[in-house]
């Protein structure tokens, strides 16, 4: 995956989200900044240190949590953290103390001496996060920290990230989920094909996209054109028609009020509506709004949990 013009400046003590579909260059960006990938043009500084010329110094100031829970499966949680402590050159005693602190902080004390094999997905991810925090890093990279997690584990990880940022850590987070960026990030950069195509606060981006989409399911295929005509008039953007699902959808502004207007207009047209719903904007909508085309293979906000290939 080639990057072409990724400009990021992240304020200390904030969460910056990198949002984009598979292959947009999110992972590549994070891997470059975390010294895992070389690059041939441009400049990158992390925690005040030039990545290309001082990779080791960068490594002593960052934590990196990749897409997979990169902890030792066989060792216990405690031994994992002690090992990472030693490799961060904390010394034997301090490594041991730090492991105890982190186990407590991530609510893993009860499972501390069990093999990681017996951990649930959420526990593994928490241990993984703890391992990235052994040094209390200034900058933490999180590459899709909640992909593949169930909603409860996801909420646990979000809580942990918020606590970290409250403690002053700067976080660069990649995600396919608009909801995740919405919950965690102070600012978001939207990536597409290796370039940043938009940047701003999550609310700002969403308002650029509009309030969301209205989806209307009609009872009969014959009513689809009428429904499309109504929605098209209300939305000011061409609606999408799904013939198999008997569904028409279009972006609307104004949230609930917008929905009410649509309902009224449909009623006036005398349509037999089976179902109508207002869907919050998804990453796909952001994409459609920004680029005029769909992002491919994009997980929706409900989180189908599609795993991204490492680019």
Partner 1 sequence: MTVTGRGAEPLPVEGEPRGPRAWAGRAGWAVADATVVARRYLAHLVYKPDELVGTLMIPVLAVLLFGFVFGEAMGAAMGVGGEDYREFLMPGLFALTMAFGIGNTTIAVVTDVGRGVVDRFRTLPMAPSALLVGRSMADVVSALVDLVVLVGMGLLVGWRWHEGQGSALAALGLLLLLRLAFTWIGIYLGLLVRGPEAAMKLFSLVFPLAMVAETFVPTEVIPAWLAPVAEWNPLSATVLACRELFGNTTVVGESWVAQNALLMAVVWPLVLLAVFVPLATRRYRKLGR
Pairing of strands 187-192, 195-200: antiparallel
Does 170 interact with partner 1 (rule: CB under 8 A)? yes
The interface mask with partner 1, positions 67-86, x = CB under 8 A, is xxxxxxxxx---x---xx-x
The interface mask with partner 1, positions 28-47, x = CB under 8 A, is -x-xxxxxxxx---xxxxxx
Site for partner 1 (CB under 8 A): how many residues? 62
Does 168 interact with partner 1 (rule: CB under 8 A)? yes
Give the three-class secondary structure for 169. coil
Of 192 and 215, which CB lies nearer to partner 1 in the complex structure? 192
CA 304 to chain centre: 13
Of 54 and 208, which CB lies nearer to partner 1 in the complex structure? 54
Of 9 and 293, which CB lies nearer to partner 1 in the complex structure? 9
Q: Which stretch binds partner 1 (CB under 8 A): 11-19, 173-181, 266-274, 276-284?
A: 11-19
CA 52 to chain centre: 27
Q: Report the alpha-carbon distance of residue 263 to residue 250 in Å, rounded.
A: 13
β-partners of residue 192 are: 195
- Please give the residues from 83 up to 142 whose contact with partner 1 meets the rule CB under 8 A: 83-84, 86-89, 115, 131-132, 138-139
β-partners of residue 251 are: 213
C-beta of residue 280 within 8 angstroms of C-beta of residue 219: no
β-partners of residue 217 are: 247, 275
Looking from the CA of 94 toward its CB, the CA atoms found within 13 Å total 11
Give the three-class secondary structure for 211. coil
Does 5 interact with partner 1 (rule: CB under 8 A)? no
Does 188 interact with partner 1 (rule: CB under 8 A)? no
User: Which residues lie near partner 1 (CB under 8 A)?
Assistant: 6-13, 16, 29, 31-38, 42-50, 54, 56-57, 59-64, 66-75, 79, 83-84, 86-89, 115, 131-132, 138-139, 168-170, 172
């Amino acid at each position: 995956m080639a990057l072409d013009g990724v400009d990021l400046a992240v304020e200390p003590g904030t969460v910056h989200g990198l949002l984009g579909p598979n292959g947009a260059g999110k992972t590549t960006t994070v891997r470059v900044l975390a010294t895992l990938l070389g690059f041939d043009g441009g400049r990158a500084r992390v925690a005040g240190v030039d990545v290309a010329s001082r990779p080791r110094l960068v490594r002593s100031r960052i934590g990196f949590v990749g897409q997979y829970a990169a902890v030792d499966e066989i060792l216990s949680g405690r031994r994992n953290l002690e090992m990472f402590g030693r490799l961060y050159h904390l010394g034997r005693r301090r490594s041991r103390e730090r492991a105890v602190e982190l186990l407590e902080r991530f609510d893993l004390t009860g499972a501390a001496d069990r093999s990681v094999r017996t951990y649930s997905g959420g526990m593994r991810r928490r241990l993984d996060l703890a391992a990235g925090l052994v040094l209390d890093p200034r900058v933490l990279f999180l590459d899709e920290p909640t992909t593949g997690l169930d909603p409860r584990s996801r909420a646990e990880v979000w809580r942990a990230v918020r606590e970290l940022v409250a403690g002053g850590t700067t976080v660069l987070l990649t995600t396919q989920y608009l909801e995740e960026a919405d919950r965690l990030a102070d600012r978001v950069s939207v990536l597409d094909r290796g370039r940043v195509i938009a940047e701003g606060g999550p609310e700002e981006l969403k308002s650029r996209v509009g309030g969301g989409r209205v989806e209307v399911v009609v009872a009969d295929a014959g009513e689809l054109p009428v429904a499309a005509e109504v929605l098209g008039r209300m939305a000011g953007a061409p609606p999408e028609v799904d013939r198999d699902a008997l569904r028409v959808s279009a972006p609307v502004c104004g949230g609930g009020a917008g929905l009410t207007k649509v309902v009224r207009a449909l009623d006036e047209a005398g349509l037999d509506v089976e179902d109508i719903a207002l869907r919050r904007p998804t990453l796909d909508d952001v994409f459609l709004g920004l680029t005029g085309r769909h992002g491919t293979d994009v997980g929706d906000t409900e989180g189908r949990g599609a795993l991204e290939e490492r680019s």
